[in-house]
Amino acid sequence: MIPHNVDSLHSGWVFSVDKPLGWTSFDVVAKLRNTIRIRYGVKVKIGHAGTLDPLASGVLVICAGKATKTINDWVETPKKYRATLSFGATTESYDSETKINSTGIPVPLFTKEISTLIESSFLGTISQVPPIYSAVKVNGKRAYKHARNGILVEMPERKVTIHSLEWISTIGNSWEVEVSCSKGTYIRSLANDIGQFLGCGAYLSSLIRTAVGSHLLADSKSLDEWITLLGGD
């Protein structure tokens, strides 16, 4: 429960929000900032601890007041996701934001041997290239702004760590997997890379962030619930 006094607000609040589909991380921050301003009559510093794409839902950690000093601590913590990879097709954004293009290449049946091959190639520290439709800055501008203007830019490679891959369902062309990973990991890039590895192509068709450090999805509140607790509409 949020304590209803300004002193505790300035001391710092941390919100674990189950971000709704279609909202940007900035949208959530802006909505909570405005709700706090209306409820308490003060402006307060507020920010999120790691972007979550509009087409993804799940845990988004928001820090307000002096708690914003802990944002980097949350950014550094491991993350967990539940992702659905759709094989046999690719997209420019590596998810369903852009046109889906069938590769026409048969999708292999999931086997223990394929699982072992994927794990041997993608577990541990790997090199990853973020999607061109991402918030990574290239030449001083967000990469997605270049992409939406039809400008091709070279995306910087980065090192990320995949701690675990646990396959939940692997029926047909849609394979569901739980991923535990380091900060900075793009699950969209992981989906695309696994598709290339298997030769049939793949894109990310669904993504839920289930944990940011100790903040779990099961313990998070929806944005509407937080607004109600804050006395907003």
Q: Determine the pLDDT at residue 144.
A: 65
Q: Determine the pLDDT at residue 9.
A: 72
> In which domain, by residue range, is 59 found?
6-76+215-229
Residues 67 and 125 in one domain: no
Helix runs in 45-186, H state only? 71-76, 112-122, 143-148
List, in sequence order, every beta strand (DSSP E) within the chain.
Answer: 13-19, 46-48, 56-64, 79-87, 89-90, 101-102, 124-128, 137-138, 141-142, 158-171, 174-181, 202-212, 215-216, 221-222
Residues 163 and 185 in one domain: yes
Residues 129 and 223 in one domain: no
Residues 101 and 179 in one domain: yes
Main-chain dihedrals φ then ψ at residue 138, nearest 5 degrees: -130, 125
Helix runs in the chain, H state only? 6-11, 25-40, 71-76, 112-122, 143-148, 187-198, 223-229
CATH number at residue 72: 3.30.2350.10
Q: Which amino acid is at 219?
A: D
Kindly state whether residue 137 falls inside one of the protein's structural domains. yes
Kindly state whether residue 174 falls inside one of the protein's structural domains. yes
Q: Determine the pLDDT at residue 134.
A: 66
The stretches in the chain having pLDDT less than 50 are 1, 3
For 188-202, the pLDDT digits (tens) are 999 999 999 999 999
Kindly state whether residue 225 falls inside one of the protein's structural domains. yes
Catalytic residue (choose from 7, 18, 27, 53): 53
The answer to whether residue 27 is catalytic is no
For 89-122, the pLDDT digits (tens) are 999 999 999 999 999 999 999 999 999 999 999 9
Residues 72 and 86 in one domain: no
Residue 169: Cβ-neighbour burial (10 angstroms; 0-12, 13-18, 19+)? exposed
Residues 66 and 143 in one domain: no
145: tokens are 């702004």
Residue 180: name the closest of 91, 95, 53, 78 by CA.
78
Residues 189 and 107 in one domain: yes
Give the C-alpha separation, 200 to 101, whole Å. Answer: 12
Contacts of 181 (CB under 8 A, 6+ apart): 78, 79, 80, 81, 160, 161, 162, 163, 187
Kindly state whether residue 11 falls inside one of the protein's structural domains. yes
Residues 61 and 164 in one domain: no
Q: Which amino acid is at 171?
A: I
The model scores a pTM over 0.85: yes
Q: Which amino acid is at 136?
A: V
Kindly state whether residue 1 falls inside one of the protein's structural domains. no
Residues 172 and 130 in one domain: yes
Q: Determine the pLDDT at residue 1.
A: 45
Q: State how many domains the chain has.
A: 2
